[in-house]
Amino acid sequence: MSEQHKQTLQRQLWNIANSLRGNMGADEFRDYILGFIFYKYLSEKIHLHANKILKEDGLFFEKLDPASAEDAEVLSDVREDCLDTLGYYLEPNELFSALAAKGQQERDNFIIEDLQEILKHIEQSTMGAASEDDFTGLFDDIDLSSNKLGKTAEAKNALIARVLAHLDAIDFQLENTEIDVLGDAYEYLIGQFASGAGKSAGEFYTPQAVSTLLAKIVTHGKDRLKSVYDPTCGSGSLLLRVAREVKTVGHFYGQESNPTTYNLARMNMILHGVHFSQFDIQQDDTLEYPHHKEERFEAVVANPPFSANWSANPLHLTDERFADYGKLAPKGKADFAFVQHMIHQLDDNGTMAVVLPHGVLFRGAAENHIRRFLVENRNYIDAIIGLPKNIFYGTEIPTCILVLKKQRALTGENSDNILFIDSSAYFGKGTNQNYLRDEDIKRIFENYKSRETVDKFAYVAPLTEVEENEFNLNIPRYVDTFEEEAPVDLASLSKQITDLDKDIEQTDAAIAEFCHALSIETPFGVKA
């Protein structure tokens, strides 16, 4: 039943987003609809929690009046408990349902200012609390004065009131803890917005199937993780996907440069029930201003922007993340800079998996130097997985997954080889892009676990062979996917051509006969 409710909820939310956005682009409306859904979630969460606290006293949170001295004293205790447990606080008259109801009144139904104040109050309620950093600026991208919502204040108010009314009619079923219904629906919405956002989608979302594969790889052999880290975390979906593959994750860490996406990531964490004390998401340029430089993580995952620009400042050669390599990634291709950063953050017993463009496997100059260092000096590269083309939003270029482990050098496990997998031929075709099917994920992951050479799919390459190839890691050098064409039967082909010539002569004769009967010239090329 909960699975059916999840699918229904996904359709309802997407229909609201599509039907009420008017002339606004789907990606423009994203911040509003996701922000309002998040406000409703916070409201319902605190409503349930407060009523649980008040149950013994026979009180109901929504009926308490902050203006009453007696109720205010009760609410003060509720506020303290909510800040410790949930990390934020809302007054009873600030609940989503109350505001939505006001927006539907015939008179006194202007709610824009109320909504703006409520969102501000949510953030202000955390000031001085342990959750302050996780809520500060959370609603900055919800601009209720934007002309995108309407030309007049009345038009803006009418649109917002309609959205809130539609959302208020939906049951999020937060009391159902068996399945993360709302969290899945939220992820679905983010994915739908990403599919329509074009090139910019890669900034905040990794396709779910790719996230699943990365998550399975970094959690292989473990049912608990002390920590997981994503240096380019986008909406946080990849971090949350890792959590689905294990029983527990102690702590989530991430960094995101885009302020809007950073807010989305924090919302996503909270909405998935991750306690504010369990995640640390920071906003800044990871390569230039890393926020978790002294931390080490058991699992590291990332889908960095492909071949992005970065400073490549020579001062970075004194940075412990890059110093040992002797060279920096090119200024116009930061791919290996992200790899070096991630390796620095990886714990000795950890696994990292990162999505990169194929060029990192064979490009020369500084990239070849770094690639050689990783294989020859560190022996960290465990596996390379080639993915199908056109499976990422906004780009059709072929991509790959690099899997690295520090324990290879420490334990000697598989330390004399690198596994190459070419899964480029295994995918499903969608309307605008390709995607990994469940069977494709299974095929890749099963081979990753077994590390077996499979004809035209996987090859376990000895390091000596990699060295012979001058540390060029281009997958076709190791996995031969060439399919020989069937031999041509020349005698049969000759007969087919002869028979075809006879058919053409007969057709020409029939055309010429019809033309003669009609007293017209035969078409050019037809033999009379």
Q: How confident is the model at residue 162 (pLDDT cuts 50, 70, 90)?
A: very high
Instruction: Write the pLDDT tens digit of every residue in 104-146.
Output: 998 999 999 999 999 999 999 999 999 999 999 999 989 999 8
Q: Is the pLDDT of residue 486 over 70?
A: no
Q: Among the listed ranges 101-105, 233-237, 486-490, which one has the minimum average pLDDT value?
A: 486-490
Between 1.20.1260.30, 2.40.50.140, 2.60.40.3880, 1.10.1060.10, what CATH number should domain 2-194 receive?
1.20.1260.30
CA gap 340, 381 in Å, rounded: 12
Q: How far apart are the first and last CA of the chain?
A: 74
Q: What is the 3-state secondary structure (H, E, C) of 256-295?
A: ECCHHHHHHHHHHHHHCCCCHHHEEEEECCCCCCCCCCCC
Q: Three-state DSSP class for 379?
A: coil
Buried b (16+ CB within 10 A) or exposed e, 145-181: eeebbbeeeeebbbbbbbbbebbbebebbbeeeeebb
Using DSSP, how many helices (H) and how many strands (E) does the chain show? Answer: 17, 13
Q: What is the 3-state secondary structure (H, E, C) of 217-258?
A: HHHCCCCEECCEEECCCCCCHHHHHHHCCCCEECCEEEEECC
Domain 197-477: CATH superfamily is: Vaccinia Virus protein VP39 (3.40.50.150)
pLDDT at 276 (0 to 100): 94
The whole-model pTM stands at 0.87
The domain ranges of the chain are: 2-194, 197-477, 487-528
Closest CA to 215 of 190, 245, 255: 245
Instruction: Write the pLDDT tens digit of every residue in 167-189.
Output: 999 888 787 655 567 777 887 78
Average pLDDT for 195-207: 60
Q: How confident is the model at residue 1 (pLDDT cuts 50, 70, 90)?
A: very low
